[in-house]
Copies of this chain bind each other. A is one copy, B any other.
Amino acid sequence: MLSTFDPPYYAVIFSSVRREADTAYDEMTLHMAQRTQAMPGYLGAESYRLPDGSGVTISYWRTLEDVQYWRSDMQHRAAQDQGRAQWYSSYRIRVCRVAYDYGFDEAGQLL
């Protein structure tokens, strides 16, 4: 996910270590991803998980208020509670303001 957004915008880095995969986890992550996409200020997300259980999901948001609104969503809070109880052995969430970005696309253009 190499989209560009006009800064400033916000990144939420959710690093986690998963205990074990199960069907309920997969259903929850799919449901929460869909719900996230419908939230105000959502710009995009990228997600990675390694075979050892460690992984990260980074979601991008227009404003800090959008991040806080998403954090307070009741379904999101319930998923977090269940995550701590059942699916994750640890996690860390970092809320960041993107100051600037740059990159390089398939056509060789510096962006």
Contacts and interface: CB of A to CB of B under 8 A. Distances in A.
A79 interface: no
Nearest to A4: B92
Interface stretch (A22-30, A34-42, A99-107): A99-107
Contacts of A17: 2
A55 B106 CA distance: 16
Interface string A84-111: 1000111111111111111111101001
A15 B106 contact: no
Given A93-B102, A97-B97, 20 more contacts: A2-B16, A3-B92, A11-B11, A13-B58, A15-B58, A48-B48, A48-B56, A56-B56, A58-B58, A84-B104, A84-B108, A90-B103, A90-B104, A90-B105, A92-B101, A92-B102, A93-B103, A94-B100, A95-B99, A95-B101
Interface of A: 1-4, 11, 13, 15-17, 46, 48-50, 54-56, 58, 64, 84, 88-106, 108, 111
